Amino acid sequence: MTSGKILWAALAVCGLLCACGPTPPVQEDPLERARAIHGRVLTLDTHVDIPFEFASDSVDPGVRGPFRVDLPKMAEGGLDGVFWIVYVRQTKARDDSANAAAKRAAMVKFEAIHRAVEEMYPDRIELAYSAADVVRIHAAGKRVAVIGIENGFVIGRDFSLVDRFHELGARYITLAHGGHNDICDSATPRTWDENAAEHGGVSPFGEQVIARMNRVGIMVDVSHISKQSMLDAVRLSRAPLIASHSGARALADHPRNLDDEQLLALRDCGGVLQTVAFGGYVKVDPPEKSAARRALRESHGIGAERQLHSLNVMERADYDARLATIDRAWPPPNVSDLVDHIDYAVDLIGIDHVGISSDFDGGGGVDGWADASETLNVTIELVRRGYDEEKIRKLWGGNLLRVWRETEKVAAQLQAAGEG
């Protein structure tokens, strides 16, 4: 055989060997990986507001409508469960008449939530009364509803209401909202509040409220309350705390967010920060945008006496259209900005103490997660940043359920010991 033929034979053998060698691994499509993870983990949003007309012909949660969360949008976005919120605004008056009015307003929303899950759509969504219920309902293929109360003002001075609201399904109470109340100081005092701090933190009455919440098994929520109130709550509560819808103040210097000292205190008590997709808490607006949004709110009478979720359907549609015009002029925060807060909190306090919330229909929503139908986009960004399935499971509800279970355990212990 000539040297040329030998060379060609050698090359042929080499080519054959190369062709028969190991096939390089196929790279998984990140989008498909995110979809698969999103479909397997339980996704739980801890703060979704509802209007007083909820579960009626005008605001039907089973029909795709103008609000940011309804059952069709939840299905489209793969959002498995929500905490529907019984919110009642703070008033200057805190006398018996004001307290009675707050209770009546709260009952309207409790009744609406029960009507939605028990009468209107029992085959599609179910109310969870325990952390175990959440897992069971999800496994059965239904959406999960849980109830949270925003503003302890609804308790008035009547401790029995803590027990009553627990019976109705409330599983967390935000101790205060905008403006101080009898429980504690707010992070955002109202114009009628004479001082930045009325109680210097949690009041003696508030201490009793927290003790009662621990005994019945209601999670203590420290969003909206002042820094000293939050640190007092950490000291007073026998169970871990939640911040149901807050961000990292280091990234957005807003009084509604938690600074590093607060985040570390939340970690040390075993609690969880539910990082919120509320634009102004994700990224502070420039002054021009703040002025435009303020003018929009004033044009709809939104302020201390009226909240966004009190708008009717037509008013809300007009509000959203005009807000979209403002957002086109000054682009809002996006999903990446939201996940920046998650990254920051995870780096500071650990993956076991961070979760996710939207504050939808209470002003929440960022570009890319503007309503429940876009929930997958959050998981896509988490995957893009290297979070694995177990970490995403913790962020989307696992950590919150851990705190809930611990709250249930503390309540059982206190009841067995006859405390509280």
Residue 6 maps to a domain: no
Residue 40 maps to a domain: yes
Q: Coil, helix or strand for 88?
A: coil
Please give the C-alpha separations between residue 61 and each of 67, 318, 329, 397, in angstroms, as whole numbers.
9, 20, 32, 22
DSSP assigned state of 374: G
At residue 358, what is the residue type?
S
In 41-175, alpha helices (H) = 71-77, 96-115, 131-139, 160-167
Would you state the structure tokens that stand for residue 279, as one six-digit string? 């634009």
327 and 346 share one domain: no
171 and 316 share one domain: no
- pLDDT 10s digits, 317-329: 888 899 889 989 9
Q: How many structural domains is the chain composed of?
A: 2
Phi and psi angles of residue 118, each rounded to the nearest 5 degrees, phi first? -100, -30
Would you state the structure tokens that stand for residue 55, as one six-digit string? 């579960």
327 and 377 share one domain: no
128 and 250 share one domain: yes
Measure the CA–CA gap between 65 and 151, rounded to whole angstroms: 27
252 and 314 share one domain: no
CATH of the domain at 190: 3.20.20.140
347 and 301 share one domain: no
Single residue among 332, 363, 398 that ends a domain in this structure: 332
122 and 193 share one domain: yes
Task: Give percent of the chain above pLDDT 90.
Answer: 81
71 and 166 share one domain: yes
Burial 283-296 (b: 16+ CB within 10 A, else e): bbbeeebeebbeeb
Q: Which helix (H) or strand (E) holds 209?
A: helix 204-216
Closest CA to 92 of 178, 200, 199, 205: 178
Residue 171 maps to a domain: yes
Single residue among 316, 332, 348 that ends a domain in this structure: 332
pLDDT of residue 175: 98
Residue 403 maps to a domain: yes
53 and 155 share one domain: yes
Residues of the chain with pLDDT under 50: 1-19
Residue 373 maps to a domain: yes
Would you state the structure tokens that stand for residue 365, as one six-digit string? 């929503």
279 and 299 share one domain: no
pLDDT of residue 351: 98
pLDDT of residue 101: 96
Closest CA to 282 of 240, 334, 207: 334
Measure the CA–CA gap between 353 and 242, rounded to whole angstroms: 9
Residue 46 maps to a domain: yes
Residue 143 maps to a domain: yes
Residue 255 maps to a domain: yes
325 and 372 share one domain: no
pLDDT of residue 21: 52
The parent domain of residue 305 ranges over 285-332
Single residue among 274, 305, 332 that ends a domain in this structure: 332
pLDDT of residue 27: 64
pLDDT of residue 8: 45
327 and 396 share one domain: no
